[in-house]
């Protein structure tokens, strides 16, 4: 567990940038290792600085202002949505707006009820506890969390068997901020104990354009309007990806151009990094290419697709498929994955007469799901 002080210097940013691993996927929504330090320097510090998510911002602002007016910690907050949309940023902003320390941990790190008890016993009045990937917390820890959220106390069991003794431990009032990419995996009793829940949506290109411009200003990148729009259009609706692409385009402009990120420079840089104009990367294109060229557009099982592109099933299903489905290049049906007309057009191919969708959708989707 770590404690966030809300500050990042330019030296921190440069150190993190120099250590950043060039080889990882540019369009992966997850952040790893030193990239988190780079993100910290680019994060908004208050709700007024947040771009996009207007409804969530307004709702959260009311919750925090009301809590400040009552001089009490705000209700527990649950933030859900795909990776890279700002759940951690909002947790940090909640702590900053309440002028409270933020303690960070993650669901996988809490493997036993004792782990959670140790964290909670160190909380002070009004602290904000952020649990990332809260759906991956162990079941015993979840059950302990129920009482902590509702009654601000936990029962620590000493010993085993008939001689075991439960010692009640009082906890100062605190605010739990849980973040999850899979809200459906949260048990109902845990989900119901959050006083405010918010789902973060993907960003529009215009919002990402503003985010790219803001990040460029913080990084000292000379950026044209057209260059910013080009980066935003290939960012898959995700600010984390937009910031990552900006840094890679900045590198290209520095080494192979005059340092200014123009439309042409952005276009050439993103083509070099194999991110096309629709935001598809190498794996995305490989999936729809195999689906169209080798299997006539499907339907094909995801395991077969994974073997055909040389990746694990989980990689295709969890990394490539969500964006392809959301972008309308891939459809999931009871009989398997199928390529849509948009996928054929993207590859510059013409769908054959016998391919899915060629004769209408009814014959494909009316199949029995069993």
> Which position has the token pair 């799901």?
369
Among this protein's residues, is 240 annotated catalytic? yes
C-alpha 238, offset from chain centre: 8
Instruction: Based on the residue annotation, tell me whether 345 is a catalytic residue of this protein.
Output: no
Residues with Cβ within 8 Å of 341's Cβ and at least 6 positions away in sequence, in order, are 351, 357
Residue 225 falls in which region: left (phi positive, over 0), alpha (psi -120 to 50) or beta: alpha
Point out the catalytic residue in the list 43, 88, 180, 238. 88
Q: Is 293 helix (H, G, I), strand (E, B) or coil?
A: helix
Residue position matching structure tokens 């036993």:
112
CA gap 308, 252 in Å, rounded = 33
The catalytic residue among 115, 127, 132, 284 is 132
Residues 260, 299 contacting (CB under 8 angstroms): no
**DSSP, res 357:** B
Question: Of 312, 301, 222, 238, which is closest to residue 275 (Cα–Cα)?
Answer: 238
Is residue 132 among the annotated active site residues?
Answer: yes
Cβ atoms < 10 Å from Cβ of 353: 7
The active-site residue, picked from 43, 191, 213, 240, is 240
Residue 305's nearest CA partner among 288, 280, 328 is 288
- For residue 195, report the phi and psi dihedrals to the nearest 5 degrees: -75, -20
Phi, psi (5° rounding) for residue 132?
A: -80, 150
DSSP 19-70: H--TTS-TT-S---TTHHHHHHHHS-SSGGG--S-HHHHHHHHHHHHHHHHH
Q: Which of 43, 87, 191, 250 is catalytic?
A: 87
Distance from C-alpha of 203 to C-alpha of 211, rounded to nearest angstrom: 10
Residue of 105, 175, 181, 340 marked active site = 181
Residues identified as active-site: 87-88, 132, 181, 240
């Amino acid at each position: 567990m770590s404690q966030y002080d809300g500050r990042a210097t330019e030296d921190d940013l440069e150190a993190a940038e120099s250590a950043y691993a060039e080889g990882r996927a540019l369009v992966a929504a997850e952040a790893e290792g030193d990239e988190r330090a780079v993100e910290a320097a680019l994060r908004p510090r208050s709700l007024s600085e947040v771009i996009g998510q207007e409804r969530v911002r307004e709702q959260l602002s009311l919750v925090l202002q009301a809590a400040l007016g009552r001089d009490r910690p705000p209700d527990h907050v649950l933030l859900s949505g795909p990776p890279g949309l700002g759940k951690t940023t909002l947790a940090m902003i909640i702590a900053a707006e309440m002028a409270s320390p933020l303690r960070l941990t993650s669901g996988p790190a809490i493997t036993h009820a004792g782990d959670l008890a140790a964290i909670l016993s160190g909380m002070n009045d009004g602290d904000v506890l952020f649990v990332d990937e809260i759906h991956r917390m162990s079941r015993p820890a979840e059950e302990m969390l129920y009482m902590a959220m509702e009654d601000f106390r936990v029962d620590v069991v000493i010993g085993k068997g008939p001689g075991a003794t439960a010692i009640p431990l009082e906890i100062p009032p605190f605010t739990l901020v849980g973040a999850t990419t899979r809200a459906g995996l949260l048990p109902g009793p845990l989900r119901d104990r959050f006083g405010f829940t918010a789902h973060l949506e993907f960003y529009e290109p215009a919002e990402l354009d503003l985010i790219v411009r803001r990040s460029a200003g913080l990084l000292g990148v000379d950026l044209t309007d057209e260059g910013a729009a080009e980066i935003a259009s290939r960012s898959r609706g995700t600010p984390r990806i937009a910031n990552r692409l900006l840094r890679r385009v900045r590198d290209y402009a520095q080494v192979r151009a005059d340092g200014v990120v123009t439309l042409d420079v952005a276009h050439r840089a993103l083509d070099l990094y194999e991110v096309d104009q629709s935001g598809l990367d190498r794996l995305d294109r490989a999936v729809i290419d195999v689906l169209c060229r080798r299997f006539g557009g499907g339907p094909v099982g995801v395991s077969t697709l994974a073997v055909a592109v040389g990746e694990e099933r989980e990689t295709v299903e969890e990394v490539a498929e969500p964006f392809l489905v959301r972008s309308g290049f891939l459809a999931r049906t009871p009989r398997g994955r199928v390529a849509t007309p948009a996928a054929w057009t993207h590859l510059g191919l013409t769908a054959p007469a016998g391919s899915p969708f060629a004769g209408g959708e009814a014959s494909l989707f009316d199949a029995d799901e069993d």
